[in-house]
Amino acid sequence: MVPPRNVVKIAVQMRDAIPQLIQLDQAKPLAAVLKEVCDAWSLPHSERYALQFADGHRRYITENDLEAERLLRGLQSESCEGRREALQHLVLLAPDMTFTREVISRDGLQRLGSIIEDGDDLGEVLALALRAFLELMEHGVVSWETLSIPFVRKVVCYVNMNLMDASVQPLALGLLESVTLSSPALGQLVKSEVPLDRLLVHLQVMNQQLQTKAMALLTALLQGASAAERKHMLDYLWQRNLRQFIYKNIIHSAAPLGDEMAHHLYVLQALTLGLLEPRMRTPLDPYSQEQREQLQALRQAAFEPEGESLGTGLSADRRRSLCAREFRKLGFSNSNPAQDLERVPPGLLALDNMLYFSRHAPSAYSRFVLENSSREDKHECPFARSSIQLTVLLCELLHVGEPCSETAQDFSPMFFGQDQSFHELFCVSIQLLNKTWKEMRATQEDFDKVTQVVREQLARTLALKPSSLELFRTKVNALTYGEVLRLRQTERLHQEGTLAPPILELREKLKPELMGLIRQQRLLRLCEGTLFRKISSRRRQDKLWFCCLSPNHKVLQYGDVEEGVGPPAPESLPEQLPVADIRALLTGKDCPHVREKGSGKQNKDVCELAFSVSYDHGEEEAYLNFVAPSKREFHLWTDGLSALLGSPMGSEQTRLDLEQLLTMETKLRLLELENVPIPEQPPPVPPPPTNFNFCYDCSITEP
């Protein structure tokens, strides 16, 4: 009878004992084998003994030794089923570093390499062999550079085959990626043997694992290429519509994007943007005819109508003077624009951006330049200076020229949404800068402040990862200067802990008391009274009248006064309106004295300050009409009248006052808790004690 494959005969010897010839079952635990050997020699405590090789390195035998030897014997099995089982176990145990060392020391990699190179089985056995090989190599015990050229070529052959098992090609691609990243020499071999078109075929297969591994090998080949080779490769890939395919079929696919694919897309984006680095590092050459012509084209697009020439009928000196003046209008700091573009970064990249904007958005470019050149000098937004600084800002935000991170996944989907994404982003950003400049009412001295705000607008919008340039444009234009200030305030409150749940709860408890304080202030202001102007039918504000609230808050007292005379005493006012007779408070267009007037600009100003109270006058409804002298007085009076009528005070001034009082009161109450962390949730109430024997009744007197 043939013994099982796991059973081998070995000789065991010990000093001063007769050697044993035993049948070692490799599937049996090592502890059980040791106990059998010790029992044969009548030795107690078998756990104190170990088996050691008698020849070679005289290493001690461990469970890993036995398992490694058993699996490697299985790899040499003649049956396909035996090899498959051995490979399955090898894949499961390969992550263990100790086991890996045992397998490698027994030429396990060579045996796996033979299975891969032979290629007798192109299905599951080959896939398991590739997986096991990758797992063993991942530990770094053996360098990837030690692989043979025939072995690498065989793996390349599996990648280039048309009819191949779906589980084999992703593993083959992963193996070639590791080879390319670890060995420049073998990486060149892979680059020459694997056509880019073949990788594009793999990317177009609707298999996410295969797509990911194909993208991994593609980015590895790009990273290993020289700058010139990388540019050539990327140009070819873009011509083959790789960008469009990534945008439609990978980024916007139904399946979620995996972390590994996100990393490779980040690398592809970084390498593509890295092509801009030479232009970013190169200053403008004042002796270059091509670059001088580009500057002139920039000027002509802004100031010379199509078909007209600056030199018509002008002397050379006059022409040079006019050119210098127009370059200054264009926003260059120097009459010679070459001096502005000598700064690196951004170097020639800023000139590229300006030219792209003038050629692809000519109307927006002309509007930007002409609009600002017609403003007052202190308020004009310099196009060239802004473009140079904005190019630097975009390079920093997009990390142009920086080495790729090994773990980052921060790619921008809109980068794959259109060609020339960097220049297109600049076109949106330069128009944003002009919009923000006007919102801030900036002057030349505020240039740095404006660029800081624009940087924040771009950074916040890029962090949202908009899926297209149009969506980016919409979101960044919605992020106005006022919105940026609001976000800064909110973030500052978060950092101070003002928006923590316990603080918010405290603020809610303080609100009724503080609203009562504001109500009291508003009523006191009404008691002081205010001078109002009467609006005649001819829109002349030629008469004054005074109105105040009685100290007991029961009556509104009012009457006409002469101009130049101080506020009269309340008791001298002839007219009175009991508060109890007031029906409602009206504001703006609801007021009768506003409805009667036209819709001119002056009436619009009056509308914003107008309010009325309707009251019972016998059986009819009458109105007392007001036009406040200022917006603040409008808020104070409408709040006070609302308080008298029992309505909520909803003016903007009330909101600001309440926020200021809440902030002050909260800070005062939290002074003793400075630098003490406040938990988000209150601590749990502990359970009651099992008994209350520790209580002491103080009312009982001791005898």
Q: What is the pLDDT of residues 390-441, one digit of tens each?
A: 999 999 999 998 888 888 888 999 999 888 899 999 999 999 999 999 999 8
Q: What is the pLDDT of residues 25-72, one digit of tens each?
A: 777 777 788 888 888 888 887 777 777 777 765 565 666 666 677 777
pTM confidence score: 0.67
pLDDT at 231 over 80: yes
User: How far apart, in Å, do the first and last CA atoms of the chain sit?
Assistant: 101
pLDDT at 308: 47
Q: What is the pLDDT of residues 481-505, one digit of tens each?
A: 999 998 888 777 666 656 678 888 8
> If we measure between CA atoms, which residue out of 275, 669, 284 comes closest to residue 502?
669
Mean pLDDT within 93-118? 83
Burial of 298: CB neighbours in 10 Å, binned 0-12, 13-18, 19+: buried
Residue with the bigger pLDDT between 190 and 600: it is 190
Q: How far apart are CA 555 and CA 573, in angstroms?
A: 12
> If we measure between CA atoms, which residue out of 409, 413, 120 comes closest to residue 252?
413
Q: How far apart are CA 594 and CA 604, in angstroms?
A: 9
Rounded to a whole number of angstroms, the CA Rg of the chain reads: 42
pLDDT at 305 over 70: no
Residue 573, C-beta contacts closer than 8 angstroms, at least 6 positions apart: 546, 548, 557, 558, 559
Residue 473, C-beta contacts closer than 8 angstroms, at least 6 positions apart: 428
Residue with the bigger pLDDT between 334 and 190: it is 190
Structure confidence at residue 539 as a pLDDT band (50, 70, 90): very low
pLDDT at 593 over 70: yes
